C-alpha cells in the first residue's frame, strides 16, 4: 500500500503543481486584481455562504461512499444507480435553502443572482467529487489525478481569453468568473462520468425509497461532520461582512486575499493526501494491516512541507502579498500600503493554520476510514463553538485579523484532538526520537528563516536559498530518505 500511495502521490502532486500555480498566480490573482478587493470580497462572501450549506448537497454521501466502495467494489453499480437520484433531490433542497436564507438575510437582487449561479456551481462541484469518490475507491488513482486538475485546465482556457484575449471592451466582471466555473464544472462532470461508466454495470436509474432511507441514515454522521466543519472553516468572511457594517466587503476581501494561498496550499497538498489515503486506510483497516508506517510516511511528508510553508510565509508575508496583489485603480498608494500590511498580518496567522489543517487531512481521514464519526463530530462541534465565539469577540475590534485568530484557535484545537484520538483508538506507534527530530526541524527552519531575511540580496533570492536549505535539512535529519522511497517503490506491493 505504501508503494501505491507514493507512486500515485507523485503523479497527483506533479499534475497539480503543473496546473494550479498558473491558476492561482495567473488566473485567480488576475481576477482579484482586475475587479478589486471589495468586489472580490463580495464574491468570496457569497461563495463561503453557499459553502456553509454544502451539507444539504452531499449529506456526507461522498465520504461514506468512498469508504464503502473501497471495501466493497462489487456494490458500485447498485449504489450508483440510486445515489445519483438522491444527489439531484438534495440539489433541489440545497437551492431552496440557500435562496431562502439569502432572503432572510436581506440579500439584494445582485447578491441573490450571484448566489443562484454559485449554488448551481456548488452542485456541479459536489457531483464531480462524488464521481471521483467512486474512481478513487476503485483505486484508479491515475484517472482521479487527471480529474483533479481538469476543471482548472478548462477554467484557465476560458478566463485567459476573457482576461487577456481582447474579446470585449467591457471591464472584467466577477460574474464572468462565476459563469466560467459553471462551464468548466459541467464539462468535467461529463468526462468523469464517461470514465466511470465502463467500470460498472449501469442499467439506469433505480428509484428505491427504502434504499434512499438506508443510505441517508448511514451517511448522517458524515453529514453532521461536514456541516460542523463547514461552519468553523468557512464562516469567517460571512461574519466579517455581517458584523462590520462600514467596510465589511473590504475586510472580507482582505481576508480572502490572505486566505487564497491557504486554500491553494490545502488543495495542492493536504486534500490530495486525503483523496489517496481514505480508500487506502479503509482497505487496510478492513484487512487488519498495521497502519503505523503508512501514517508516519504520509504525515512526515505533509508535516515537513506545511511547517516549511508556514514558517517561511510568516517571515516573508508582506513581500508575498505585494508580489501577488497590485494597487487597484480605485485606491491611493497609502490605501494600498495599508491594505497590504493588513493582508500580510492576516496571511501570517492563516499560514500557521496550514500546519493544523494538514494534520487534519491525515488523522481526520484516518478516523473517518475507521468509522470514528462520533469522535470526529464531537471534535468538530467544539471547533464550531470556538470559531463562532472568537469571531464574535474579535471581529468588531480587530476586523479580518481577529477572524484569522478565530480560525487559528478552532483549527489547532480540532487538529490536536484528532491526532490524540487517532493515535489512541488505532494504536499508532510514534517513536520519541521521531518527534524530537520534528521539533529540531521546526527550530532550525525558524532560525534559517530569520537569518535569510538579513541576507543582502533581493527577497526572492533569499527565499529561494531558504527553500533549498530547508529541503537539505529534511534530508540531513533523516526525515526524508530517498533510498527508503526507492526501496518502497521497487519492493513493496
Residue 54 main-chain phi, psi, to 5 deg: -55, -30
Q: Hey, how many other C-beta atoms are within 10 angstroms of the C-beta on 301?
A: 22
The per-residue pLDDT of the chain, averaged, comes to 85
User: How high is the pLDDT of residue 213?
Assistant: 84
Cβ–Cβ < 8 Å for 17, 229: no
How large is the C-alpha radius of gyration of the chain? 22
Place 307 in a pLDDT band, splitting at 50, 70 and 90.
very high
Confidence of residue 484 (pLDDT cuts 50, 70, 90): low
Ranges 8-17, 105-114, 279-288: which has the least confidence: 8-17
pLDDT higher for 94 or 81? 94
Instruction: State the virtual CA torsion across 300, 301, 306, 307 in degrees, nearest 10.
Output: 50
- pLDDT for 10: 73
Nearest alpha carbon to residue 278 among 180, 402, 133: 133
pLDDT of residue 271: 76
Cell triple for 138:
476503485
Compare 309 and 20 and report the one with higher pLDDT: 309
Q: Is 90 exceeded by the pLDDT of residue 118?
A: yes
pTM equals: 0.76
Of 345 and 61, the structure prediction assigns the larger pLDDT to 345
Burial (Cβ within 10 Å: 0-12, 13-18, ≥19) of residue 266: buried
Helices and strands (H, E) in the chain, number of each type: 20, 0
DSSP 397-465: HHHHHHHHHHHHHHHHHHHHHHHHHHHHHTT----HHHHHHHHHHHHHHHHHHHHHTTSSS-HHHHHHH
Give 3's pLDDT tier (boundaries 50, 70, 90): low
Predicted pLDDT of residue 140: 78
DSSP one-letter string for 56-113: HHHTTHHHHHHHHHHH-GGGHHHHHHHHHHHHHHHHHHHHHHHHHHHHHTT--HHHHH
Work out the average pLDDT over 189-200.
88
Q: What nine digits make up the cell of 487?
A: 526501496
Q: Is the pLDDT of residue 266 over 70?
A: yes
Percentage of the residues of the chain whose pLDDT score is greater than 70: 96
Q: How far apart are CA 216 and CA 272, in angstroms?
A: 26
**For residue range 221-264, what is the model confidence (pLDDT) as tens digits?**
877 887 787 777 777 878 888 888 777 878 888 888 888 888 88
Which CA distances in Å does 261 have to 44, 174, 276, 304?
14, 19, 22, 17
Please compute the mean of the pLDDT values over residues 102-123 and round it to a whole number.
Answer: 91
Q: Where are the domains of the chain?
A: 2-430
Q: Of the candidates 163, 164, 151, 152, which has an alpha carbon nearest to the alpha carbon of residue 192?
A: 151
Residues 57-68 as b/e (b if ≥16 CB within 10 A, e otherwise) read bbbbbbbbbbbb
Q: H-type helices in 23-54, by residue range?
A: 29-35, 37-52
Instruction: Give the pLDDT confidence score for residue 486 in this predicted structure.
Output: 59
Question: Would you state the pLDDT for residue 169?
Answer: 77
pLDDT of residue 147: 87
Q: How far apart are CA 87 and CA 230, in angstroms?
A: 19
Residue range 139-159: mean pLDDT, rounded: 87
Over the stretch 25-58, which tens digit does the pLDDT of each residue have?
788 888 888 888 778 888 888 888 888 788 788 7
Closest-CA residue to 428 (of 350, 370, 491): 370
How deeply is 353 buried, as exposed, middle or buried, from its count of CB atoms within 10 A (0-12, 13-18, 19+)? buried
**Cβ-proximal residues to 230 (8 Å cutoff; 6+ apart), any chain:** 51, 52, 53, 54, 55
Does the pLDDT of residue 489 top 70, yes or no?
no
Q: How many residues appear in the chain?
A: 493
Helix (H, G, I), strand (E, B) or coil at 174: helix
Amino acid at each position: 500500500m505504501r508503494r501505491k500511495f507514493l507512486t500515485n502521490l507523485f503523479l497527483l502532486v506533479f499534475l497539480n503543481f503543473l496546473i494550479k500555480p498558473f491558476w492561482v498566480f495567473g488566473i485567480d490573482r488576475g481576477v482579484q486584481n482586475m475587479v478589486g478587493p471589495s468586489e472580490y470580497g463580495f464574491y468570496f462572501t457569497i461563495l463561503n455562504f453557499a459553502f456553509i450549506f454544502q451539507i444539504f448537497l452531499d449529506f456526507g454521501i461522498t465520504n461514506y461512499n468512498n469508504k464503502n466502495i473501497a471495501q466493497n467494489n462489487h456494490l458500485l453499480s447498485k449504489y450508483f444507480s440510486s445515489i445519483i437520484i438522491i444527489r439531484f433531490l438534495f440539489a433541489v433542497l440545497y437551492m431552496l435553502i440557500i435562496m431562502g436564507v439569502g432572503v432572510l438575510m436581506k440579500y439584494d437582487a445582485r447578491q441573490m443572482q450571484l448566489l443562484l449561479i454559485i449554488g448551481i456551481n456548488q452542485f456541479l462541484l459536489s457531483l464531480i467529487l462524488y464521481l471521483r469518490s467512486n474512481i478513487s475507491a476503485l483505486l484508479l488513482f491515475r484517472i482521479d489525478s487527471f480529474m483533479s486538475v481538469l476543471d482548472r485546465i478548462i477554467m484557465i482556457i476560458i478566463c485567459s481569453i476573457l482576461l487577456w484575449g481582447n474579446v470585449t471592451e467591457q471591464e472584467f466582471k466577477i460574474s464572468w468568473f462565476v459563469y466560467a466555473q459553471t462551464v468548466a464544472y459541467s464539462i468535467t462532470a461529463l468526462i468523469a462520468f464517461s470514465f466511470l461508466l465502463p467500470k460498472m454495470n449501469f442499467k439506469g436509474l433505480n428509484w428505491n425509497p427504502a434504499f434512499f432511507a438506508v443510505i441517508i441514515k448511514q451517511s448522517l454522521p458524515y453529514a453532521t461532520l461536514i456541516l460542523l466543519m463547514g461552519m468553523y472553516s468557512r464562516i469567517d468572511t460571512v461574519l466579517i461582512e455581517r458584523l462590520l457594517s462600514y467596510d465589511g466587503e473590504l475586510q472580507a476581501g482582505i481576508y480572502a486575499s490572505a486566505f487564497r494561498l491557504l486554500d491553494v496550499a490545502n488543495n495542492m497538498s493536504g486534500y490530495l493526501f486525503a483523496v489517496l489515503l481514505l480508500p487506502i486506510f479503509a482497505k487496510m483497516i478492513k484487512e487488519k494491516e498495521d497502519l503505523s508506517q503508512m501514517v508516519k510516511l504520509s504525515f512526515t511528508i505533509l508535516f515537513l512541507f506545511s511547517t516549511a510553508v508556514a514558517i517561511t510565509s510568516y517571515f516573508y508575508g508582506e513581500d508575498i502579498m505585494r508580489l501577488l496583489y497590485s494597487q487597484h485603480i480605485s485606491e491611493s498608494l497609502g490605501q494600498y500600503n495599508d491594505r497590504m500590511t493588513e493582508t500580510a498580518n492576516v496571511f501570517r496567522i492563516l499560514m500557521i493554520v496550514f500546519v493544523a489543517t494538514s494534520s487534519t487531512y491525515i488523522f481526520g481521514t484516518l478516523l473517518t476510514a475507521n468509522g470514528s464519526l462520533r469522535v470526529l463530530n464531537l471534535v468538530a462541534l467544539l471547533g464550531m463553538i470556538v470559531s463562532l465565539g472568537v469571531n464574535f469577540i474579535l471581529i468588531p475590534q480587530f476586523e479580518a485579523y481577529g477572524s484569522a485568530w478565530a480560525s487559528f484557535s478552532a483549527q489547532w484545537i480540532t487538529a490536536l484532538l484528532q491526532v490524540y484520538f487517532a493515535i489512541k483508538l488505532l494504536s499508532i506507534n510514534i517513536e520519541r526520537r521521531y518527534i524530537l527530530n520534528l521539533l529540531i526541524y521546526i527550530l532550525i527552519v525558524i532560525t534559517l528563516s530569520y537569518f535569510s531575511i538579513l541576507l543582502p540580496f533581493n527577497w526572492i533570492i533569499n527565499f529561494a536559498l531558504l527553500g533549498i536549505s530547508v529541503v537539505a535539512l529534511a534530508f540531513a535529519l533523516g526525515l526524508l530518505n530517498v533510498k527508503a522511497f526507492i526501496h518502497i517503490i521497487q519492493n513493496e506491493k
